[in-house]
Amino acid sequence: MAMRQTPLTCSGHTRPVVDLAFSGITPYGYFLISASSCKRYPCLLCCFSLDGKPMLRQGDTGDWIGTFLGHKGAVWGATLNKEATKAATAAADFTAKVWDAVTGDETLTLAHKHIVKSVHFTQDSNHLLTGGNDKVLRIFDLSKPEADPQEIAGHTSAIKKALWCNNDTQILSAAEDKTVRLWDRSSMETVKTLAFDVAVSSMEYIADGEILVITYGKTIAFYDALDQRAKFSTVDAPTSIHSASLHPEKDFFVAGGDDFKLYKYDYSTKEELESYKGHFGPVHCVRFSPDGELYASGSEDGTLRLWQTAVGKTYGLWKCVLPEELVSENSDTLYCPATEIKA
Amino acid sequence: MKTPVSVLRLPRGPDPNSRGFDPNSARFLALCPTTVSASSAADAHGVALRDEQRARSLLRERFLRSLLAMCGRPVRFSMYEKVQVEAKFGASDIDVLNFQVSDLQTPIGVQKEALLRCPDIITYNFEI
């Protein structure tokens, strides 16, 4: 019997959720961090009056674990290290902060010269890559925080996203200058540049398989991460796409954007399988969990929603219920939604 | 019509009274190194641990009593950006993240009631 997807809504943010990231799978499960900005007013001053509070949640249930308090203003980027022991955030207060993700304490504040948009840890969590509106990529050695970071210049406008790739030997960056660049970490030089007609809206790097997922306009494109000239495929969605994510087993990919819906596609055939309504605003970010069982979406409506990959399967808070059980007397512990549920 | 998938409960939201990171969670207890060596020593029931815990309780109690002593008194706060203000201390919240103060004297006037963010405070002093 076909089941209808029940998204789990995680509330708590009062402002648009602009970035989210999962940790790897740890002995305590996996975790999710989300960042919220301020309302998208053109005036920069507004951002400082509204706090963006990055939150840590249990990845498979969406249960809130804690809020990282300290940034003054919108938080544009957030990430966790693999073990979920450290978190990093990028904010409009011109700083990136590193946090202890177990205690919630702030461990480092890294000053920048402008709004910071993106943060990413190396696999060993010893270095942090940052990028933002001052167009410069920075690499901080977290064991020597007082030392100056290595700086890599080259982009001609604000950097939106910067990621380590190829075993942390290279860096991928996407900027408002409509390019995606690959840099060599040791020489600090550009290895390759990909130019687009519009600025790239999101980038995801899948180490296992060396795939790069790039979204721009209504397009979701898949590139070979080692040789970006090699484009595996592209798919055009019905709406402007802000973010897309590829399933760890490369069966599916999901995307979301301006029309508030989540789209699910088959990766091999590129066929649109499903679309889900639920959010009350544009979808800004979407990511698969490390085990591929669910994906999380963050929206302008201030919520994070968790969606099942296999609808109807028992996992996390979702429970597979057979038709007979629904009418039995023992089913009162289950919450069976007839309409949209809000946390 | 398709049946919607059942859920056990909704995801738990933020606690309005604290910033979370439950110190009694399994992960916290396993991963959190203590700052004093006695607590992480193999001899968990030893004399050193007892002394450390006694010292911790004494210090904590002293700090809490200092907050009590401050109530209703004028306190001078030294904050970031070379800010020096004086106000009458009211109360602290449970995580010591905010101080409720009255008659906060600022360069642009006296604020009848205000909340000071503790991470913004460097030092504060008052007379008993």
pLDDT digits (tens, 9 = 90+) for A43-73: 333 333 345 789 999 999 999 999 999 998 8
Answer for the pair A176, A158: CB distance below 8 angstroms, yes or no.
yes
B23 vs A contacts (CB less than 8 Å): 103
Averaged pLDDT for residues B98-121: 94
Q: How far apart, in Å, are the Cα atoms of A330 and each of A320, A327, B8?
A: 14, 8, 13
Q: What is the pLDDT of residue A331?
A: 45
Q: Do the Cβ atoms of A64 and B11 come within 8 Å?
A: yes
pLDDT tens column, A262-294: 999 999 999 999 999 999 999 999 999 999 999
A63 vs B contacts (CB less than 8 Å): 11-12
Answer for the pair A77, A98: CB distance below 8 angstroms, yes or no.
no
| Domain boundaries, given as residue ranges, for chain A | 16-308
Q: Do the Cβ atoms of A335 and B119 come within 8 Å?
A: no
What mean pLDDT is reported for chain A?
89
A12: left (phi over 0), alpha (psi -120 to 50) or beta: left
Instruction: List the single best residue of A64, A72, A309, A342 to mutate versus B (max B Cβ within 10 A).
Output: A64
Residue B39 has pLDDT above 80, yes or no: no
A279: number of CA atoms within 13 Å, CB side? Answer: 30
A341 vs B contacts (CB less than 8 Å): 7, 10
B28 vs A contacts (CB less than 8 Å): 102-103
Joined tokens for residue B43: 């001899």
Reported ipTM: the value is: 0.82
pLDDT tens column, A97-130: 999 999 999 999 999 999 999 999 999 999 999 9
> Measured between CB atoms, which of A6, A338, A343 is closest to B5?
A6
Q: What is the pLDDT of residue A321?
A: 77
pLDDT tens column, A197-240: 999 999 999 998 889 999 999 999 999 887 777 888 999 999 99
Q: How far apart, in Å, are the Cα atoms of A236 and each of A177, A219, A310?
A: 22, 5, 24
Domain A16-308 falls in which CATH fold?
A: Methylamine Dehydrogenase; Chain H (2.130.10)
